[in-house]
Structure 1
Amino acid sequence: MPSRTVSTDQAAVYGAFTANGVMYAALVSRVPAVGAELSLSTSGLGLLLLWLSAGAVSGLPVAGVLVQRLGGTRGITVGIGLAATGLLLLAVGLGSALLPVAALALFLIGLGMGLWEVSMNVVGSRVARLIGSETLLPRLHAALSLGTVVGALLGAFLAGASVALSSQNLGMAVLLGLIALLLRRVAHGTDAPEAGEAARAPARLLSASWREPRTLLIGLCVLGFAFAEGTANEWIAYVLVDGYGAAEQTGALAFAAFVAAMTAGRLAGGAFVARFGRVGVLRVSAGLALCGVLVVVGGDTVAWAIVGALLWGAGAAMGFPVGIAAAADDPARAAVRVSVISSLGYAAFLGGPPLLGLLGDLFGIQRAILVVCAALVPAFLAAGATRLRTAVEERGARGDRGGPGG
């Protein structure tokens, strides 16, 4: 494949990751505004956010088969379109204070995110395989984190300027539409649908991947890290406002500190993986994230909360990209395994954190986030499954059987 085509596709997938981060962070950094405009309690806000998670979980299984049959760019652009539609509808729901409309809007946003995120991870793993890069996926996720920094700062700025969240959503929806059109025009050869067995029976191959012990252990590891990341994304700003009594823009800045640390961790993480290996990096990362959560929970000043956010972000940085890279060790089954890992990761990332709102009503949201520590322990233990497999080990694990179940 011409190097120019690969370079263009690499730029396109960087754009997809970055745009995803900007959109999501700009929205979640203003979660307190959603609760205020709809007059919701902590538990009510958590239940509303479950609609976002329900949409994402609905889209995740569909994304794997869609990428196998049609190619990743279609998955990305359809996902962006659904997310943009959801943002428009959310602007209507918030402007009219209609809770059912806001819930439907969040479902559409989540559905779009599920398609978008699995598709871009599959395309990213393909590009990484073509160029032979072990560090591309961490850099792509660093681009996503950089996008979340931009989105969080944008959210903080607009909150400080008293711009209504509905107006912000209208502008973001228009921007996403333009990005989808651009990505569709620039993506080329690495986005082709799968050939061979994957094209003939994508659903069967995907089902078989859900029964592979190593794939599921990698998924368990990614699940813990993704839950830690998702909890910070959805609740760290609220913890500053509700638990520490800080202003909304201060909460958004704490979220920006978290994602800035995550971005730095992903930019530097590829070199650490090359030197110390996947397993060591993930286990140290789990320890850092756990320390960060404990500092946020136990702190009594905003300064301590910021320190905890930085540790939390640095620790959560490498779980998802290393897990995706491990799932893609075997090129023949990379796409379906990446789809499985992405599904587990994003289900935890989006589905778990809203449930903390229920615990928040009972114990306070600052204490409720201790649940993240419980998720990081199995992630630490399962990290060994990410060890790089040789081609001989992969063939042995499959038993050299050609069918999808092998």
Structure 2
Amino acid sequence: MPLTATNEVRAARWALLVQFALFGLVMASWVSRMPSIREALGVDAAQLGALLVVGGAGSLTGALTIGVLVARFGSRTALLGGTAGNVVGFGLIALATESGDVRLFIAGAFINGFCGALVNVPINTNAAEVERRLGTSVLPHFHACFSIGAALGALVAAGFAAAHISITAQILVVLMVVTTLRLVLLRPATALTFHAPITTETGSIATAETKDRRRGAVRQALGAWLEPRTLLLGVVLLAASLAEGTATTWLSLAVVDGFETPEAAGALAYGSFVIAMTVFRFLGTPLIDLFGRVAVLRVSGVATFTGVLVFVFSPSLATAWIGVLLWGCGAALGNPIAISAASDDPADAGPRVAVVTSFSTISSLVAPPLLGLLAAEVGARNAMLVIAAVAVVSFSVASQARRRPAPVLVSG
């Protein structure tokens, strides 16, 4: 049953919606100008791809350690650290593009990858707490704002490129704006989870961390890796991330090669995918409250599976486009549902969300090169069948997302 939102919850909700949009914007704005970065560094496409793997390694390192950091220091400190780290990371990338120094780019890419987790986990944990306080499914709205921010970032990059403004200047301008807004919104965005842990008397969030909580932070974070339900929720998130990330990387190429169409058609197909996913993240959330997480996850898996099959085996681009839209709708809700389920118990939300989101990081690090090898053998369109197979796996473990009430401990 929906609950009445307090001013603090409302403020947190709006602050986090903007934080998600900023996260998408700052990431998409610089990767959208890869040709300029390649030229500034004096490398070819293969060398640039190898350099970007360093960022993926940083993301994986951050994903594997963020649970400890959040449990030990809290979400506000982690988010502040991620914000400060991005200033250093993007600053180094800006210097690299200005000087052509590849070593600076490597350092900046690794720091940014690591700090991505320091931003991603705190904002998702706090968004899940907003959802818990409201008593209704709103987490997909935050992820929709990330998609909107990413689209905005691409437009910003296109605008700077069209105006013939250097990538160095663009990075510094975007970084200054994003950092300022993040700092302004830091306090309201993290107000709901700033204090921890759970009190034994009321089951509510306490007014200060206890020494025992701090001493047990590492044990708590590592313990989340041993929980079968948390790991299976990670599989759900991996499937959703793979469905979304593969479309980002390969869909336009699969359209161009598979249907022998101009590059613009491939870009439009991917744009249709993003629009379908974003719209369904806004409009599909009532389905979660009406039918439950498990049913929505299973229908999403069927939609993804069907959409990919229609795309791969369609005889024409027109019918394949229907598959793209269905695929986008199917990929929309898996990510927020998995994170919401991992946050059912607010006392352990940070470490569990860190574990679950690490599966997304692993997917983004491993999937592109593996799918690239597969695409070289069977074609980009046929390689998409991997997504259909993973959707079946997600369907089979969807029951793990069933809502579990947070335990309320009573003092003896």
Could you tell me the TM-score, scaled by structure 2's length? Answer: 0.81
Q: Distance in 2 between matches of 1:254 and 1:159?
A: 23
Query: Quick check: 2:343–2:349 contact (8 Å CA) kept in 1?
Result: yes
Distance 1:154 1:344 in 2: 30
> Would the alpha carbon gap of residues 313 and 76 (structure 1) be closer, same or farther in structure 2, given more than 3 Å must change?
farther
| Counterpart for residue 263 of structure 1 | 278
How far does residue 57 in structure 1 lie from its aligned partner after superposition? 0.8
Question: For residue 288 of structure 2, what is the aligned residue in structure 1?
Answer: 273
Q: What does the per-residue CA deviation read over 1:49-71, in whole Å, with 9 as the maximum and x for residues that have no partner?
A: 32221111111132222222322
What is the alpha-carbon distance in structure 1 between the residues aligned to residue 236 and residue 186 of structure 2? 33
2:86 paired residue number = 83
Shift of 1:127: 2.6
173-182 or 359-368: bigger deviation: 359-368
How many Å separate the matches in 2 of 1:125 and 1:220? 19
* Equivalent-residue separation in structure 1 for 2:265 and 2:158 (angstroms): 8
Tell whether the 8 Å contact from 1:57 to 1:351 is kept in structure 2 after alignment: no
What residue is the counterpart of 1:13 in the other structure? 16
Hey, what's the Cα distance between the residues in 1 that align with 2:268 and 2:238?
A: 26
CA contact (8 A) 1:137 1:325 kept: yes
Q: CA deviation at 1:113?
A: 1.0
Cα distance between partner residues in 1 of 2:275 and 2:11: 27
C-alpha distance in 2 between matches for 1:44 and 1:237: 22
Q: Distance in 1 between matches of 2:138 and 2:169?
A: 35
The 1-side partners of 2:361 and 2:299 are apart by 22
Write out per-residue CA displacement over residues 301-348 of structure 1, whole angstroms, 9 at most, x where no aligned residue.
776675544333221111111111111222332332222212223332
Are the equivalent residues in 1 in contact too, given 2:20–2:143 (CA < 8 A)? yes
3-state secondary structure, aligned to 1:352:
helix
SS in 1 for 2:192: helix
| Corresponding residue to 1:141 among 116, 128, 143 | 143
Closer, same or farther in 2 for the Cα pair 1:359/1:336, shift >3 Å?
same
Give the stretch that moved more between structures: 309-318 or 184-193: 184-193
Whether the 8 Å contact between 1:49 and 1:106 is mirrored in structure 2 is yes
Offset of residue 214 of structure 1: 1.4
Distance (Å, rounded) in 1 between the aligned partners of 2:344 and 2:169: 44
Which residue of the partner structure matches residue 216 of structure 1?
231
Distance 1:165 1:228, change over 3 A: farther
Between stretches 212-221 and 27-36, larger displacement belongs to 27-36
For residues 363 and 318 of structure 1, the distance between their equivalents in structure 2, rounded to whole angstroms, comes to 29
Partner amino acid, structure 2, of 1:143: C
Q: CA deviation at 1:286?
A: 1.9
Alpha-carbon distance in 1 for matches of 2:385, 2:39: 25
The 5 Å alignment of 1:1-400 reads: 3-31=6-34, 40-41=44-45, 44-95=47-98, 98-129=101-132, 131-158=133-160, 164-184=166-186, 186-187=188-189, 189-195=191-197, 198-237=213-252, 239=254, 246-247=262-263, 253-297=268-312, 307-390=322-405
Partners in 1 of 2:97 and 2:307 — Cα distance?
33
Whether the 8 Å contact between 1:84 and 1:176 is mirrored in structure 2 is no
| 1:326 partner letter | A
Deviation at 1:223, TM superposition (A): 1.1
Q: Secondary structure at the match of 1:192?
A: coil
**CA separation of 1:368/1:279 partners in 2, compared to 1, >3 Å: closer, same or farther?**
same
- Deviations 1:268-299 (CA, angstroms, capped at 9, x unpaired): 22211112221121122122223444455556
**More off after superposition, 367-376 vs 277-286:** 367-376
Deviation digits for residues 359-391 of structure 1 (CA, Å, limit 9, x no counterpart): 445555444444333332211211111112346
The CA distance in 2 between the partners of 1:358 and 1:48, in whole Å, is 18
The number of residues matched between the two structures is 392
- Segments of structure 2 that go 5 or more residues without pairing to the other structure are 198-209
Take 1:86 and 1:253, find their aligned partners in 2: how far apart are those partners? 32
Point out the more displaced range, 179-188 or 197-206.
179-188
Paired with 1:308 and 1:31, the residues of 2 have a C-alpha distance of: 29
Identity %: 36
Instruction: Give the deviation of 1:349 after TM superposition.
Output: 3.6
RMSD (CA atoms): 3.4
Deviation at 1:72, TM superposition (A): 1.4
Residue identity in the other structure for 2:44: L
Max radius of gyration: which structure? 2
Q: Which amino acid aligns with 1:261?
A: A
- 2: CA distance, partners of 1:366 / 1:39: 29
CA distance in 2, matches of 1:27, 1:287: 34
